Amino acid sequence: MARIVDIIERTIQVSSSMRNADIGFDEMTATALVVVSDVMRQGKPVVGLAFDSIGRYAHGFLVNERMGPRLLSADPSLYACADGPGIDPLRAWSVMMRNEKAGGHGERAGAVGLLDAALWDLQAKLLDQPLWKMLCDRFPGASQPDRVTVYASGGHYQAGEAPQRLRDELCAYQDLGYHHFKIKAGGASGGIDQTRIEAALSALTAGQTLAVDFNAGLQSQTADAAIEGLAGYGLAWIEEPVDPLDYRLLAQLRARHPMPMSTGENLFSLADVRNLLRHGGLDSTRDFINVDISLSYGIPEYLRILDLAAQAGWARRAFVPHAGHLFALHVVGGLGLGGHETAPSHPLLGGFPAGSTLADGMLCLPDAPGVGFEAHAGLCKVFEPMLRP
């Protein structure tokens, strides 16, 4: 029976000058997390690692104040695997959520999801398996669990940029092996978005696709015209056109415009996704759901969301999670989801663990145990000082 003996967190500055239609990132932070077990291998404790999704700031304070102490003080039998060695993150989830009231799915969901991600990394290492394989074995259904359709998310607004810069950015992603791309929209006026989209499309070749992300930037008065203005471009989807909780407005837009739509990165719970499915008017045959696994209470809640959606006719292929980076790649592969967002230009999160290969828009995940933070060029440098004895 493994015991969790320490939890270490660091707030990492991930600020940049980029903008979307909703916010700037000039003061952005994220949390790097290490969960230490009492299992020793080669003289070192086996640890689980996790790194925040970007966009909603660090979660270390909640890890320290609420969820971490609950895990550290719990009897290990409360989170032990029922039928094998190590820990069961599904059982640890209930320990972390003790005495948490219903509703209010904000920062708390990200703190629990971050700890959950580290627990899965830890357990995969204890079982000597890559996370994608452990997930596929436990929750079967993925036909190619080590392969993930990825898209390159970029095209942020930058001061003084020319359309050529956007074209160059997408060409650089193509050189890395990407076939699918997403750029920002809704953060500029006067036809600038159209110019940007046309510049991006000019870089694409046959079979490649472009989506745009409004980051909740449209209002009820402007949304129809803004979406109508993109009708002729054959976009893969338009993402989060309006406030994530304005289900009625989304349903109206869904009814009026034919393009595939996509939303959910700012819904952080089963209860919120249930409302999206009930009231948001989405169409399971053409739309996508972007709930961020790591910001939404982690895999246990995500499995409940997939089950609920399945009852409403949604295939796992319609789920294309926001962010979550390396961890989410494994979940997308292991559970057979539709694809995953990546940020190839991000100075810290760009790239994949050593042993991954990207070609024709498809990433092949490596066989090393766990998630692979230790084999990622940027993130290994974040964790290395946290792992020193």
Residues contacting residue 307 through CB under 8 Å, at least 6 positions apart: none
Residues whose CB falls within 8 Å of the CB of residue 61, separated by 6 or more in sequence, listed in order = none
Instruction: Write out the binding residues for a copy of itself, residues 193-222 only, by CB under 8 A.
Output: 215-216
Instruction: Check: CB of residue 251 under 8 Å from CB of residue 280.
Output: yes
Taking the complex as a whole, the smallest distance from the CB of residue 293 to a copy of itself amounts, in Å, to 15
Site for a copy of itself in 225-264 (CB under 8 A): 243-248
CB of 258 to a copy of itself, least distance (A): 25
Which CB, 195 or 219, lies closer to a copy of itself? 219
Among 272, 287, 301, 374, binds a copy of itself (CB under 8 A): 272
Minimum distance from residue 55 beta carbon to a copy of itself (Å)? 6
Question: Closer CB to a copy of itself, residue 267 or residue 331?
Answer: 267
CA dist 239 and 287 (Å) reads: 10
* Residue-wise DSSP of 187-199: S--TTHHHHHHHH
- The nearer residue to a copy of itself, 20 or 37, going by C-beta atoms, is 20
Identify which of residues 59 and 133 has a Cβ nearer to a copy of itself in the complex: 59
Contact with a copy of itself (CB under 8 A) among 8, 16, 25, 382 = 25
Rule CB under 8 A: say whether 274 interacts with a copy of itself: yes
Longest Cα–Cα distance in the chain: 63
User: From the CB of 56, what's the least distance to a copy of itself, in Å?
Assistant: 6
Token pair 């032990």 is found at 80
Give whichever of 103 and 385 is closer to a copy of itself, judged by the CB atom.
103
> Locate tokens 């992300």: which residue?
213
DSSP string, 242-271: S-TT-HHHHHHHHHH--S-EEE-TT--SHH
Q: Phi and psi of 211, rounded to 5°?
A: -120, 165
Shortest separation between residue 303's beta carbon and a copy of itself, angstroms: 18
Of residues 59 and 196, the one with the C-beta less far from a copy of itself: 59
**Position 325: which residue type?**
H
Q: Do 92 and 82 form a contact (C-beta atoms < 8 A)?
A: no
- Pairing verdict, β 238-239 and 209-213: parallel
| Site track for a copy of itself across 158-197, x = CB under 8 A | ----------------------------------------
Among residues 340, 279, 275, 287, which one has the least CA distance to residue 313?
287
Cβ(268)–Cβ(109) below 8 Å: yes
CB atoms < 10 A from the CB of 358, how many?
19
Shortest spacing between CB 16 and a copy of itself, in angstroms: 12
Position 328 contacts a copy of itself (CB under 8 A): no
Instruction: Output Rg (C-alpha) for the chain, integer angstroms.
Output: 20
Q: With beta carbons less than 8 A apart as the criterion, state whether 326 and 51 touch.
A: yes
Tokens of 186: 């809704």
**Closer to a copy of itself at the Cβ: 48 or 244?**
244
Site size for a copy of itself (CB under 8 A): 47
The answer to whether 272 and 240 are in contact (CB under 8 A) is no
Of these, 10, 16, 61, 139, which contacts a copy of itself (CB under 8 A)? 61
SS3 363: strand
**Region binding a copy of itself by CB under 8 A among candidate stretches 49-57, 134-142, 299-307, 356-364:** 49-57
Question: CA-to-CA distance for 59 and 82, rounded, in angstroms?
Answer: 30
- Least gap, CB of 251 to a copy of itself (angstroms): 11
Contact characters 283-312, a copy of itself, x per CB under 8 A: ------------x-----------------
Shorter beta-carbon distance to a copy of itself: residue 24 or 338: 24
**Binding of residue 26 to a copy of itself (CB under 8 A):** yes
Give residues 93-132 in contact with a copy of itself (rule: CB under 8 A): 99-109
Catalytic residue IDs:
184, 322
Closest contact distance (angstroms) between CB of 96 and a copy of itself is: 13
Interface positions with a copy of itself (CB under 8 A): 11, 22-29, 55-58, 61-62, 65-66, 99-109, 215-216, 243-248, 266-269, 271-272, 274-275, 278-279, 295
